[in-house]
């Protein structure tokens, strides 16, 4: 089987077991009770992983105001992945015209206006704007869970357009950010291997867009800024699947949001992120479709009950 066939095979097995209800749009899926219970279990493990003094859990919307979104640099580097929100702000007459278009089967979305909100692509992007223009005397650590959006339609059940991620983010000095990333490189793979997921840690790069993509990716790899926790879910020699990542951003976000770190220089940051559906589905791929037959230690770790 090719990699694409193995991806569709996992998707078919999840559908057959009643865990995944396919939706007509590629990259969107509805999951049922067993997957949701596993997602909750994984989320709980990530939330309580490596408790750091002073960590603040924040609940954030799945959008960023446009100005903040542009500041993150996402538009510059990953325009192919973004999504934004349109709203209706017209009069009753405009509404009648819109409904006439809908009923005639005509395009109607151009009758909407931009809300100047962009869908969140990584939870950590919500943390930097909280400190825009500030001088931090101590590092800030956030635990953030959110639904994320990336426009990467696919038949692979592990590559969704809308998925959940939990991240641990530190904003502080270069030394503090590096130490945070270093600690995630230890705790992240351990959390996954304790669930019976064999992972290896590899240097990685983000999927940059356009002519500069190769150069940017090579720079990121040379400086070892991004590591992924890879699991060989699909077998074969065409690479594993990233279940999580540990990223050191240097002063990228500190510079964009004008944040000064405890050492007086531009703040540095690092984040450790886990894809919750990805990890849940990797568990189904590795341990089988029946959670009742998973190893007791794994069921206990995920608090799946007796």
List the single partner that 180 binds among Zn ion, ligand ATP, none, CB under 5 to 8 Å by kind: none
Calculate the CA dihedral of residues 259, 181, 125, 155 and round it to 10 degrees.
160
Cβ closer to ligand ATP: 139 or 273? 273
Helical packing angle, 3-16 and 276-287, nearest 10°:
90
Measured from the CB of residue 99, what is the shortest distance to ligand ATP in angstroms?
Answer: 34
Closest CB 273 distance from ligand ATP, rounded Å: 4
Concatenated DSSP letters for 239-298? Answer: --EEEEEEEE-TTHHHHHTT-B-TTSSBPEEEEEEEEHHHHHHHHHHHH-S-GGGS-HHH
Query: Which of 60, 165 has the CB closer to ligand ATP?
Result: 165
Buried b (16+ CB within 10 A) or exposed e, 60-77: bebbbebebbebbebeeb
Residue of 171, 132, 143 lying closest to 59 (CA atoms)? 143
- Identity of the residue, 34 or 167, whose beta carbon is nearer to Zn ion in the bound complex: 167
Query: Per-residue b/e over 269-290, b at no fewer than 16 CB within 10 Å?
Result: bbbbbbbbbbbbbbbbbbbeee
Q: From CA 33, how far away is CA 291, in angstroms rounded?
A: 11
Residue 223 tokens, joined:
């400086």
Interface with Zn ion, residue 120, by CB under 5 A: no
Indicate the residue among 122 and 204 with the shorter CB distance to Zn ion: 122
- Give the residues lining the site for ligand ATP (CB under 6 A): 122, 150, 152, 159-160, 163, 165, 206-207, 228, 242-245, 273, 275, 277-278
Judged by beta carbon distances under 5 to 8 A according to partner kind, the member of Zn ion, ligand ATP, none in contact with residue 42 is none
Q: What are phi and psi of 270, to 5 degrees?
A: -150, 150
Least separation in angstroms between CB 288 and Zn ion? 32
Kindly state whether residue 144 participates in binding Zn ion, applying the rule CB under 5 A: no
* C-alpha to C-alpha distance for 244 and 226, rounded to whole angstroms: 11
Of all residues in the shown chain, the one whose CB is closest to ligand ATP is: 275
Q: Of 42, 49, 98, 124, which lies in the binding site for Zn ion, with binding defined by CB under 5 A?
A: 124
Q: Find the largest Cα–Cα distance for the chain.
A: 62
Asked if 246 interacts with Zn ion (CB under 5 A), we say no
Find the part of the chain contacting Zn ion (CB under 5 A) among 50-58, 94-102, 124-132, 184-192. 124-132
Question: Is residue 122 a contact residue for Zn ion (CB under 5 A)?
Answer: yes
Cβ 253 to Zn ion shortest distance, Å: 9
111 binds, among ligand ATP, Zn ion, none (CB under 5 to 8 A by kind): none
Asked if 242 touches Zn ion (CB under 5 A), the answer is no
Q: Which does 227 bind (CB under 5 to 8 A by kind): ligand ATP, Zn ion, none?
A: none
Pairwise CA distance, residues 227 & 245, whole Å:
6
Q: Which residues bind Zn ion (CB under 5 A)?
A: 122, 124, 167, 271
């Amino acid at each position: 089987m090719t990699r694409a066939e193995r991806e569709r095979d996992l998707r078919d097995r999840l559908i057959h077991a009643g865990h995944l209800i396919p939706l007509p749009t590629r990259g969107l899926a509805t999951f049922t009770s067993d997957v949701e219970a596993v997602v909750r279990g994984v989320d709980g493990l990530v939330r309580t992983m490596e408790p750091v003094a002073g960590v603040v859990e924040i609940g954030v919307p799945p959008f960023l105001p446009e100005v903040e979104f542009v500041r993150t640099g996402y538009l510059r580097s990953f325009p192919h992945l973004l999504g934004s929100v349109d709203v209706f702000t017209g009069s009753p007459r405009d509404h009648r015209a819109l409904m006439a278009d809908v009923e005639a089967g005509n395009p109607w979305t151009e009758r909407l206006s931009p809300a100047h909100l962009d869908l969140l692509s990584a939870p950590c992007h919500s943390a930097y704007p909280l400190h825009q223009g500030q001088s931090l005397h101590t590092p800030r650590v956030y635990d953030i869970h959110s639904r994320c959006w990336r426009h990467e339609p696919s038949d692979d059940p592990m590559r969704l357009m809308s998925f959940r991620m939990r991240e641990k983010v530190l904003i502080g000095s270069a030394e503090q950010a590096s130490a945070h990333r270093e600690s995630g490189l230890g705790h992240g793979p351990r959390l996954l291997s304790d669930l019976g997921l064999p992972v290896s840690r590899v240097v990685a790069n983000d999927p940059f867009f356009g002519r500069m993509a190769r150069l940017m990716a090579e720079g990121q790899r040379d400086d070892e800024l991004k590591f992924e926790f890879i699991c060989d879910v699909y077998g074969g020699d065409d690479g594993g699947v990233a279940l999580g990542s540990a990223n050191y951003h240097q002063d990228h976000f500190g510079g964009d949001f004008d944040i000064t770190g405890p050492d007086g220089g531009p703040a540095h940051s690092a984040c450790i992120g886990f894809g919750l559906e990805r990890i849940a589905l990797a568990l189904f791929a590795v341990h089988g479709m029946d959670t009742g037959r998973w190893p007791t230690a794994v069921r206990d770790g995920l608090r799946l009950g007796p």
